[in-house]
Amino acid sequence: MTASSRKREANLQSPISNLLTLVGPTAVGKTALSLHLAEALDGEIVSADSRLFYRGMDIGTAKSTAEERARVPHHLIDIADPDEAVGLAEFQDQAYAVIDDALIRGKLPLLVGGTGQYVRAVVQGWRIPRVPPDAGLRAELEAEAEREGHEALHRQLACLDPTAAKRIDPRNVRRVIRALEVCTITGRPISEQQGKRPPPYRIKQIGLTMEREALYARADARIEAMVAAGLEEEVRGLVDAGYGWDLPAMSGLGYVQFKPYFEGEATLEEVVEEIKRATRRFIRHQYNWFRPSDPAIQWFDAAETSPAAIESVVKTWLDENTL
């Protein structure tokens, strides 16, 4: 156990160490519900959406407005510039810090997001190797994958860490490279450095879902609203500021689709249609992380359940801890 985790457990040995989590796909209504619950339950919102980390990327990420953030304290939004990396380990450390601070002040932390990996890292207490990225090594491995194919890179991992190789799809070059990076730098297989240690919280997970075609229609409407609100100008401003398309932030949904448009190879209408298609793929990917069959999550149909009804469920859960 690290010194920080020992301190966290010492500070949180009380009957009020509750953590509420709200998950679900993009455009399902998490923002509105999180504001309702936070205001009703004296809570603070902790973002677990990796797209919200970056300053200057507001419209395309559907970031909470200044007015919404004035209503309820928000955390882990606008914590990096688009050319800065926020790794999973760094996010986990920051999330635990703001959750603990909220609990110590008697507030209910509400972890909200659509990035399944980030939510689970906090809720399940993933042990994440604290190995900073090595740009040179990554470039070498990426060049090797390009030259010899992703299967060759995966075979290399299988020799160094068979356990990790079994878990990682050979086509997921980014994860294969990260596993090789950790192995090379530390001299130990990444699989030996991973695991789970649940945090000292009493956790309630709420999930919002919706009939798929209705959700797609909501996502399409939101994209049209983003364009009307100035999404093109936001992306152009980032490009003009020198942020390249190869950055993780700029390669994200709602941004990278503008690249052919700015290069004169696509119309704005084509860009909008591609964002809609990519958003639907993203929603399907999110449902791979947040499955309605997951017993750890209590699911609600956003089209049929009122915020007040969900608030009542959460209040009942909170009351159970005071009996």
Residue 164, token pair as written in the block: 């990790």
Same domain, 211 and 278: yes
| Nearest residue to 1 via CA among 114, 127, 134 | 127
Q: What is the mean pLDDT of the chain?
A: 92
Q: What is the DSSP string of 91-125?
A: HHHHHHHHHHHHHHTT-EEEEEES-HHHHHHHHTT
Which helix or strand (DSSP H or E) is residue 208 part of?
Answer: strand 202-209
- pLDDT by residue (tens digit) across 90-105? 999 999 999 999 999 9
Average pLDDT of the residues in 307-323:
90
pLDDT at 311 over 80: yes
Question: What pLDDT is attached to residue 291?
Answer: 87
Contact indicator for 63, 77 with CB cutoff of 8 Å: yes
pLDDT confidence bin for 48, thresholds 50/70/90: very high
The pTM for the full model equals 0.85
- Structural domain boundaries, residue 276: 3-128+196-320
Same domain, 219 and 207: yes
Which helix or strand (DSSP H or E) is residue 75 part of?
Answer: strand 74-75
- pLDDT by residue (tens digit) across 63-100? 999 999 999 999 999 999 999 989 899 999 999 999 99
List the Cα angle 296/298/303 in 5-degree steps: 145
Q: How many residues does the chain have?
A: 323
Same domain, 99 and 56: yes
- CATH value at residue 143: 1.10.20.140
Return all residues near 290 (Cβ < 8 A) that are at least 6 apart: 23, 24, 25, 114, 116, 207, 297
Contact indicator for 24, 290 with CB cutoff of 8 Å: yes
Same domain, 100 and 221: yes
Same domain, 143 and 208: no
Question: What pLDDT is attached to residue 309?
Answer: 98
Residue 180, token pair as written in the block: 């090789």
What percent of the chain shows pLDDT beyond 90?
Answer: 81
Domain total in the chain = 2
What percent of the chain shows pLDDT beyond 70?
Answer: 94
Same domain, 160 and 24: no
Q: What is the DSSP string of 29-73?
A: SHHHHHHHHHHHTTEEEEE--GGGGBTT--TTTTPPPHHHHHHS-
pLDDT at 3 over 50: no
- pLDDT by residue (tens digit) across 232-265? 999 999 999 999 999 989 999 999 999 999 999 9
Contact indicator for 109, 44 with CB cutoff of 8 Å: yes
